[in-house]
Amino acid sequence: MIVERIVPAYYDSNIYVINKKILIDAGMSTDYILSHLENVTPVSDIELIILTHAHYDHFGAAPAIIKKSGAKLAIYETEASALQDEDLSSALMFGHTCPNLTPDILCHDGDKIPIGKGENGEEEFLEVIHTPGHTSGCMCLYEKSSKSLFSGDTLFSEGGIGRADFGNSAAEKMTKSIQKLTALDIQNLYPGHGTPTLKNANRSVELSLKFSERMNP
């Protein structure tokens, strides 16, 4: 699996380009993102955008990317309606209104999204893990062969966790969601904001669990 990161403006989410054809999250600084995406891969080659959740800083640039590429849009099944809700999506907080976005693919816990073949010729997948907390429909994505977790805003490097005080948050479920992640072997952590952890990320996840246990007893 090839992972390349685009880091837009301060409040934007990280954007991860997987195998030159799949995006995990899309940020919101459209012109910047389109320009820098072209330095990684032709925008027309993007086939799928996977949103870890429906906050505007993670999907604001998606319509422009879809227009240029024809990419499909995927999000967790219970999160889809927030794409059209200016309060739940926090679009108003960022000074925007919701774009007209309808997902093509509704994800479910345990789904496996194909991302291409690895070095050994075997098909690689991103496994969908439902992790309510930051929002009720948050999801993480795990790639087993590289032991990589794309955590969205569920948790961050060095023990951080996502806010759980939004209108569609589920603070009471945050700790249980992170506990689920501790069962995985995670060497590489790619969070929705901040710097990835590319060695022994299990430690970072354990720190996030301890923090959540204090914040969300």
**Which whole number is the average pLDDT over 185-189?**
97
Residue 24: pLDDT over 80? yes
Which of the listed CATH numbers 3.40.50.720, 3.40.640.10, 3.60.15.10, 3.30.420.40 matches domain 3-215?
A: 3.60.15.10
User: Which pTM value belongs to this model?
Assistant: 0.96
List, for residues 56-113, the tens digit of each pLDDT value. 999 999 999 999 999 999 999 999 999 999 999 999 888 899 988 999 999 999 999 9
Domain boundaries, the chain: 3-215
DSSP per residue, the chain: --EEEE--STTSPPEEEETTTEEE---S-HHHHHHHHHTTS-GGG--EEE-SS--HHHHTTHHHHHHHH--EEEEEGGGGGGGG-TTTTTTGGGT--------SEEE-TT-EEEEEE-TTS-EEEEEEEE--SSSTT-EEEEETTTTEEEEETTB-GGG-B----STT--HHHHHHHHHHHHTS--SEEEESSS--B-S-HHHHHHHHHHHHHHH--
